[in-house]
């Protein structure tokens, strides 16, 4: 504002001086014409200097702007100031980019940026050794051309990256990589791949070990249980002091057998491929069957069992596995609900998917236990669980089966009031169909062998 005022004053002063001089010599028009021409020439000259200066390469040659005064001086200085600010900002950005590149180069995991057209944009050094990317040849190439495994293609285009993807390294089937993708900006992706070969081998060893131990224990336990059963049939022939220990051994042999069965089931679930949503069966029929079986086992407790399920609901998955999961939940509800209590089983289908809920008004669970309930061998109360013949593996099995069918298990409970176990399945796992003869065949429970 100050500069404008000074400039106006200067112009006014020059105009007055030229007018007076022109008036004095009797050539007022000529004086104004000369003034106008010199004004236009001077401005044109300044514009020329500015254009020349701007045309220079300022990244290498940091020449100062031309000296000037008045408004033009202000314009030159302003541009110079902005240029300096921009240089400072880009130097700062350059240091940050350099630091990010240096730190990502030091990482052992591959970090890759993929543009919104799914082409490789940038990657760190580790990507070259882990995934065989080459700079600059692969820049701008579609990522799915370089990592060709069909499972990677499916994962990449799914846009659902909640779970990481495990895959053999391209060109090196002995190495296992774990891929994780995050979306950012305008549909751009940041992909991280790390070598998990060692972890994968350990995990395989653990699964094999559990599977083998359970399998090896199977035969001796069956033999011991068989002998104990024979002894139990003739328990009256035994000396008094042997009766109690033999009874306990007989009970415990059942427990060990159940634990081994559950461990074998878990290990087979871990090794089998996921059931595809191809085969379907009637949900109402499956739930009714489980309810009937449980009702018979817990007949003495006279529970009030209720079932709410549309007869058209068809589940797409593995019949035996779903039987096992739901049967575990209903058996738990019956175990942990006192005599006369209510056990409600319902299946609801909506746009959000299928929800199978098992609700009881039994003893409930204190909130601190809820996050750990699905861990193997986790029990709220060890003595209570042993009394009910529990193995502590039931909910781990349920979670596994529900997960294998793309679902999720949610548990809500309040001590003293009851519990709700809800299995959410996506819509791909359900269809509505009038009941037919084929779906009336009884389901076979999951086998552990």
Q: Contact residues for ligand ADP (CB under 6 A)? A: 332-333, 336, 360, 362-365, 373, 379-381, 385, 390-395, 419
Cβ of 214: how many Cβ atoms within 10 Å?
21
In sequence order, the 6+-apart residues with CB closer than 8 A to the CB of 367 are 413, 414, 415
Q: In angstroms, give the least distance from the CB of 287 to ligand ADP.
A: 16
- Write down how long the chain is: 449
275 versus 394: smaller Cβ distance to ligand ADP: 394
Q: In angstroms, give the least distance from the CB of 339 to ligand ADP.
A: 15
38 versus 251: smaller Cβ distance to ligand ADP: 251
164 versus 403: smaller Cβ distance to ligand ADP: 403
Q: In angstroms, give the least distance from the CB of 89 to ligand ADP.
A: 59
Q: In angstroms, give the least distance from the CB of 413 to ligand ADP.
A: 6
285 versus 419: smaller Cβ distance to ligand ADP: 419
79 versus 344: smaller Cβ distance to ligand ADP: 344
Residues 145, 151, 157, 162, CA torsion sign: negative
226 versus 338: smaller Cβ distance to ligand ADP: 338
Q: What HEC string does the chain produce?
A: CHHHHHHHHHHHHHHHHHHHHHHHHCCHHHHHHHHHHHHHHHHHHHHHHHHHHHHCCCCCCCCCCCCCCHHHHHHHHHHHHHHHHHHHHHHHHHHHHHHHHHHHHHCCCEEEEECCCCEEEEECHHHHHHHCCCCCCCCCCEHHHHCCCHHHHHHHHHCCCCCCEEEEECCEEEEEEEEEEEEECCCEEEEEEEECHHHHHHHHHHHHHHHHHHHHHHHHHHHHHHHHHHHHHCHHHCCHHHHHHHHHHHHHHHHHHHHHHHHHHHHHHHHCCCCCCCCEEEHHHHHHHHHHHHHHHCHHHCCEEEEEECCCEEEECCHHHHHHHHHHHHHHHHHCCCCCCEEEEEEEEECCEEEEEEEECCCCCCHHHHHHCCCCCCCCCHHHHHHCCCCCCHHHHHHHHHHHCCCEEEEEEECCCEEEEEEEECHHHEEECCCCCHHHCCCCCCCCC
175 versus 369: smaller Cβ distance to ligand ADP: 369
Q: In angstroms, give the least distance from the CB of 390 to ligand ADP.
A: 2
Q: In angstroms, give the least distance from the CB of 342 to ligand ADP.
A: 12
228 versus 343: smaller Cβ distance to ligand ADP: 343
332 versus 439: smaller Cβ distance to ligand ADP: 332
Q: In angstroms, give the least distance from the CB of 433 to ligand ADP.
A: 31
22 versus 392: smaller Cβ distance to ligand ADP: 392
Q: In angstroms, give the least distance from the CB of 198 to ligand ADP.
A: 30
Q: In angstroms, give the least distance from the CB of 432 to ligand ADP.
A: 29
Q: In angstroms, give the least distance from the CB of 364 to ligand ADP.
A: 6
CA angle 117, 123, 129 (to 5 degrees): 125
Cβ of 431: how many Cβ atoms within 10 Å?
15
Q: In angstroms, give the least distance from the CB of 214 to ligand ADP.
A: 16
179 versus 336: smaller Cβ distance to ligand ADP: 336
Q: In angstroms, give the least distance from the CB of 362 to ligand ADP.
A: 5
Is residue 439 a contact partner of residue 289, using CB atoms and an 8 Å limit? Answer: no
262 versus 318: smaller Cβ distance to ligand ADP: 262
Measured CA to CA in angstroms, residue 233 lies from 226, 252, 370 at distances of 11, 17, 42
> Which burial class, exposed, middle or buried, applies to 352 when counting CB atoms under 10 A from its CB (0-12, 13-18, 19+)?
exposed
């Amino acid at each position: 504002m100050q500069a404008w005022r000074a400039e106006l004053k200067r112009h006014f002063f020059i105009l007055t001086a030229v007018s007076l001089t022109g008036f004095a010599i009797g050539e007022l028009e000529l004086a104004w014409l000369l003034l106008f021409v010199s004004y236009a020439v001077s401005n044109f000259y300044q514009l020329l200097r500015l254009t020349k200066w701007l045309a220079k390469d300022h990244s290498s040659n940091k020449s100062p702007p031309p000296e000037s005064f008045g408004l033009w001086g202000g314009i030159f200085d302003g541009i110079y100031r902005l240029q300096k600010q921009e240089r400072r900002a880009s130097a700062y950005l350059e240091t940050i980019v350099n630091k990010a590149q240096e730190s990502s180069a030091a990482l052992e995991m591959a970090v890759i940026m993929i543009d919104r057209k799914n082409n490789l944009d940038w990657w760190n050094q580790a990507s070259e050794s882990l995934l065989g990317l080459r700079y600059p040849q692969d820049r701008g190439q579609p990522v799915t051309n370089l990592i060709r495994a069909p499972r990677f293609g499916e994962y990449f285009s799914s846009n659902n990256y909640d779970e990481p993807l495990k895959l053999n390294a391209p060109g090196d089937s002995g190495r296992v990589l774990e891929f994780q993708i995050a979306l950012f900006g305008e549909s751009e992706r940041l992909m991280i791949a790390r070598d998990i070969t060692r972890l994968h081998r350990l995990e395989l060893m653990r699964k094999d070990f559990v599977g083998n131990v359970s399998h090896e224990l199977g035969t001796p336990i069956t033999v011991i249980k068989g002998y104990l059963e024979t002894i139990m049939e003739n328990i009256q022939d035994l000396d008094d002091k042997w009766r109690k220990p033999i009874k306990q051994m007989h009970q415990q042999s059942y427990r060990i057998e159940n634990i081994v069965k559950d461990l074998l089931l878990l290990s087979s679930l871990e090794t089998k491929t996921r059931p595809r949503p191809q085969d379907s069966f009637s949900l109402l029929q499956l739930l009714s069957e489980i309810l009937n079986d449980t009702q018979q086992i817990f007949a003495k407790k006279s529970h009030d069992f209720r079932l709410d399920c549309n007869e058209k609901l068809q589940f797409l998955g593995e019949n035996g596995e779903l039987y096992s999961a739901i049967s575990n939940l209903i058996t738990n509800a019956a175990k942990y609900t006192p005599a006369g209590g209510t056990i409600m089983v319902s299946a609801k289908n909506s746009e959000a998917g299928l929800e199978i809920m098992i609700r009881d008004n039994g003893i409930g669970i204190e909130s601190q236990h809820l996050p750990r309930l699905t861990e193997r061998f986790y029990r709220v109360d060890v003595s209570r669980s042993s009394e009910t013949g529990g193995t502590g593996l039931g909910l781990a099995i349920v979670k596994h089966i529900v997960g294998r069918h793309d679902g999720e298990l949610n548990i809500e409970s309040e001590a003293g009031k009851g519990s709700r176990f809800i299995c959410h399945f996506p819509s791909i796992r359900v269809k509505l169909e009038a009941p037919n003869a084929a779906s009336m065949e009884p389901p076979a429970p999951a086998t552990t062998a």
